[in-house]
Structures are given as structure tokens and as C-alpha cells.
Amino acid sequence: MSASDPAGDLQPIRVATACFVVSRILMRPPDADLLDKLASPSLRTSWPVPRPGSTAALEAMGQALDLERARAGFRDLVAGSEGDSAPGSADADGTADAPARAGSEILGENFAHLAERTLALRGARDPSELVHEMRAFREQEVEPRARVVLAGCAAVDCPQPYASLPALVADILEEHEQLCREALDPGSQANR
């Protein structure tokens, strides 16, 4: 991850980009612009985490995007993840200050945070503390929440882009772990 290794230096950007895309899919209902971008053949050829599961998921996504079904899928995702929600905050008198948030929104925020921390690897002289922090966050927050939130996405009738999320998320998390290993042992990148 240095100037002498430009390909390795770009890997944090690739992983962070994929995290940001998943974050956007999880946090807000889809609109026509998002679906156009997700259906683009260029997304499939330029996806920053080119693993077999992601490639197949993106191919399926690009062929089956429908705005109304995607919006219904987002509503189902939010409703299905309410059991993994964060409680709203309350004032001193017990009056609700903020509504509870769905687990899917929190997972989206988790992916955005993971993306930001991943980008910090590019400038880290000693990445060991950052890698430890990211691994702990991923293992304690992202992975358990992803299992709960995305459980319904594996259903046969789950619409795109949500049906593709489990494969995309699995590949992103695997790629993130690979990136962490390479950050701690830059020589391991040569074996990739």
C-alpha cells in the first residue's frame, strides 16, 4: 500500500467504493437513477470487487430491475429488519426524541463507516491499529447485522437489487479481510 505499489494502493479505494454502493442500496429507497446505474453493463465490467459471486449477482441484477418491485423490496427489507433495529433516543422525561431505526439503515451506515475507515488505509504508515479497529467493527457490528438484515434477501421472490445483496456483501467482506491481511503483510499481495 505505498507509492511504489500503485495497484495495492488502489485496493482500499475499490473496497470502499463497493461499500458505499451497498450502503446506498440499504439506506434509501431506490430511484430511477440508481436503478439505471445498477443496470448498466459498465457496472458489471468495472465492479471494484470482481469475485465470482458478485459477478453473477450483478448479472442477475442488471437483467431484472424494476422500480416498483425494487421499492416494494426496499419496504420489505426495512420491515424485515425492524427486529434488528436500534431503539430511538428519549429525553429525560421519557418522551421519544428520535424514532427507532431499522437494521437495514444501520447496516447501511455500518458499510459507509467501513468504507471511510478503509480509505484511511491509503495514508496509514502503520496500519496495524486501523486494521485491528476495522476487523473488530466488521466482526462485531457489520457481519452479525448483515446476517440478520439480509436473511430475507435470499428468498426466491425477493426483487433486485436486494436479491443480489447477500452475494455482494459476502464478497465485499471477504475482499475487506484480504485487504486487511495485505495491509499487515504487504508481501502477501504478491500471492494474489
The confidence score (pLDDT) of residue 186 equals 77
DSSP string spanning 7-46? HHHHHHHHHHHHHHHHHHHHHS---HHHHHHHH-HHHHHH
Mean pLDDT of the chain: 84
The confidence score (pLDDT) of residue 92 equals 47
The confidence score (pLDDT) of residue 154 equals 72
Mean pLDDT of 100-123: 91
